[in-house]
Amino acid sequence: MTSLVLPSLATFAALCVTFSTAGTVKGLTGFGMPLVGIPLTILLLDVPPTTVMGWMLVPILLTNVTQLIATRHRAAVIPRLWPLFAGLMLALLVSVPLLARLHQDQLSLLVGVLVLLVTLSQLMRPWRVAPAWRGPFLFVAGAISGAVGGATSFFGFPAVHALLAVELEKSEFIFAVSFMFLVGGVVIAAALGGYGLIGGEDLVISVLVVAPALAGLWWGQRLRGRLSLPAFQRLVRVVLLLVGCSMIYKGL
Digit-coded pLDDT (tens) for 54-105: 899 899 999 999 989 988 999 999 999 999 999 999 998 888 887 777 676 7
Q: State residue 229's pLDDT score.
A: 56
Q: How many helices (H) and strands (E) does the chain have?
A: 12, 0
How far is 243 from 144, CA to CA, in rounded Å? Answer: 23
Residue 32's region, left for phi above 0, alpha for psi from -120 to 50, else beta, is: left
Q: State residue 236's pLDDT score.
A: 64
* Amino acid sitting at position 61: L
How far is 170 from 189, CA to CA, in rounded Å? Answer: 28
| DSSP per residue, 46-70 | ---HHHHHHHHHHHHHHHHHHHHHH
How far is 200 from 60, CA to CA, in rounded Å? Answer: 18
DSSP 130: -
Residue 203 scores a pLDDT above 80: yes
How far is 215 from 208, CA to CA, in rounded Å? Answer: 13
Residue 5 scores a pLDDT above 60: no
* Amino acid sitting at position 103: H
3-class secondary-structure state, position 172:
helix
Output the pTM of the full model.
0.79
How far is 6 from 230, CA to CA, in rounded Å? Answer: 39
Q: State residue 180's pLDDT score.
A: 92
pLDDT band at 1 (very low <50, low <70, confident <90, very high): very low
pLDDT band at 250 (very low <50, low <70, confident <90, very high): low
Chain CA centroid to CA 180, Å: 10
* Amino acid sitting at position 216: G
Q: State residue 7's pLDDT score.
A: 67
How far is 141 from 242, CA to CA, in rounded Å? Answer: 26
Per-residue pLDDT averaged across 96-125, rounded?
73
- C-alpha pair distances (Å), 154 with each of 50, 142, 144: 12, 12, 11
Per-residue pLDDT averaged across 129-133, rounded?
82
Q: State residue 152's pLDDT score.
A: 74
Q: Which of 91, 84, 37, 72 has its CA nearest to residue 180?
A: 84
- The CB density around residue 226, as the number of other CB atoms within 10 Å, is 6
How far is 77 from 168, CA to CA, in rounded Å? Answer: 9
Q: State residue 160's pLDDT score.
A: 82
Higher pLDDT, 28 or 208: 208
Summary mean pLDDT of the chain? 82
How far is 202 from 41, CA to CA, in rounded Å? Answer: 14
High-pLDDT (> 70) share of the chain, %: 85
How far is 151 from 70, CA to CA, in rounded Å? Answer: 30
